[in-house]
Structure 1
């Protein structure tokens, strides 16, 4: 159970220090290589222009983006260099989500930062809200205040869904290095308490067969049935440094409309979150 290659997605206009520190931490723990990746597309002006003036404007804009991408590469190498072997960099003038999704084929896990609610710039930001539903790789979302990946206690947010099962499998390398693992399910109906206990017993036993010792914790619905707030409260109570959860979407046509808990975990998380879809 290991990660051989970690990929970290950098943002042009948001803090990158936390995600770089965590990517370097992962590389050191697993003796993994790290690929840094970034992209941006020139944003056309709101006003209309044509001819040579338009071409000059585009060339100047793209040159500025190339300069910024070069600065990101230097930052990436200065923070992660020395903790990863091999170390490589990929960048392009492209829409960030499209570019990062294409590069994800080369990695075992994708590291990115959280994003404030309402922030959306398809020309400059590879939003975790898009990456988590389409990457086909586990996504580690890192809040800006993180300095390392704290695996002293890992909280697994269980739900009887394929996404939760996928997340648990994807998280095995991290769970194997954790000091404590707590598997919790937040009841939607109190009448299912016994069934919930049986589900968590199965999950704990399955982890045990992978030499991971875990405990189970059944949680009653929170006030107002706010599952995201209840999950935060449980994570705080057990002092979790990492939350593992399945990622859920509500759109039948494009999986970009996230469920409430998933939306919360990628926009308001106070701790690292591993999400799988």
Structure 2
């Protein structure tokens, strides 16, 4: 893990997700890139019948982007206070998930915040960011989550045997290997989306042991998806986990994100950072 990207909703103040990302990058001796995204004025083009008004909007956007770019020194000074010496700052223009997907294509991990008080911290917005990130794993940091990295001493894995869960575990290997304790939270094994004649078996505990980890396992019980999500968070709290690793969007994207699901419940109620990959 050599390059970490953190999305900041502001270029004038730095939230908990920036602090978390800085401490994580410092722990792994990784380079940290902060990024702020400005909405494109082109999205407002149909609303302006007067060319002069649109020209004013373009000028205002350019001024805003210049101001954001000038905050690079403030960002680097902030993360330096947290111990992170290798950092840079970027400003992009456009739709946030698309900008993050492009910048994330040369990073190993994306960190973003979760807050009902932020435009891109709502459940639906975070879902769009995670979905748009493609293969890039994302750590979602709740608004009041601890940002000190000693919390990574224990990492929990939400395990249901799905391909999304397998991908999440694989993406989280550097974090899992740095933890003193890894706890597998076993839920009901999810059936495959398509009927197949044979599925290769996968022993998660054996896989982690081969990667040099000390592994524990707990079995969860739950009925509805909300019950499973609550059980996951409860078990993660009981073992003292500082990070929960889980796959996302095991159903179709529409059903999982719009109609609910374990992923949505966990993100809505988590008090700890959650690493997601779909």
| TM-score band w.r.t. shorter chain | 0.7 to 0.9
Indicate whether 1:79 and 2:71 are aligned: no
Superposition pairs for residues 1-277 of structure 1, below 5 Å? Answer: 3-12=1-10, 16-42=14-40, 44=44, 50-68=50-68, 70-71=70-71, 73-81=72-80, 83-84=83-84, 86-116=86-116, 127-135=125-133, 136-145=135-144, 146-149=146-149, 150-187=151-188, 202-221=203-222, 226-248=227-249, 250-251=251-252, 257=258, 259-277=260-278
- In the superposition, the TM-score normalised over structure 1's length comes to 0.80
Deviations 1:45-77 (A, max 9, x none): 997551323322442244235424544x34421
| Count of aligned pairs | 261
Is the 8 Å Cα contact of residues 244 and 273 (structure 2) preserved in structure 1?
yes
Q: Within 2, Cα distance between the matches of 1:32 and 1:203?
A: 27
Would you say the 8 A contact 2:20–2:148 is kept in 1?
yes
2:225, 2:262 within 8 Å by CA — same for their partners in 1? no
Contact map agreement 1:155 1:184 (CA 8 A) in 2: yes
Checking the alignment, whether the CA contact within 8 Å between 1:153 and 1:178 is kept in structure 2 is yes
Report which stretch shifted further, 126-135 or 241-250: 126-135
Point out where structure 1 has 5 or more consecutive residues left out of the alignment: 190-199
Q: 1:263: Cα distance to partner?
A: 1.7
Structure 1 contact 15–144 (Cα < 8 Å) conserved: no
Distance 2:272 2:113 in 1: 11
SS of 2:219 mapped into structure 1: strand
Cα RMSD, aligned residues only? 3.4
Shift of 1:205: 1.7
Q: Distance in 2 between matches of 1:120 and 1:262?
A: 20
How far, CA to CA, are the matches of 2:124 and 2:3 in structure 1? 20
* Cα deviation digits, residues 145-182 of structure 1 (max 9, x gap): 23223112111000111100011111111111112111
Check the 8 A contact 2:138/2:277 in 1, yes or no.
Answer: yes
Question: TM-score w.r.t. structure 2 length?
Answer: 0.80
Tell whether the 8 Å contact from 1:8 to 1:20 is kept in structure 2 after alignment: yes
Distance 1:258 1:225 in 2: 11
CA distance in 2, matches of 1:52, 1:271: 48
Q: Deviations over 1:188-230 (max 9, x none)?
A: 79xxxxxxxxxx9921121111100111111122688611111
Contact kept in structure 2, 1:246 and 1:275, CA below 8 Å: yes
Q: Cα deviations across residues 8-60 of structure 1 (Å, max 9, x unaligned)?
A: 11113997421111111112211111111121115649975513233224422
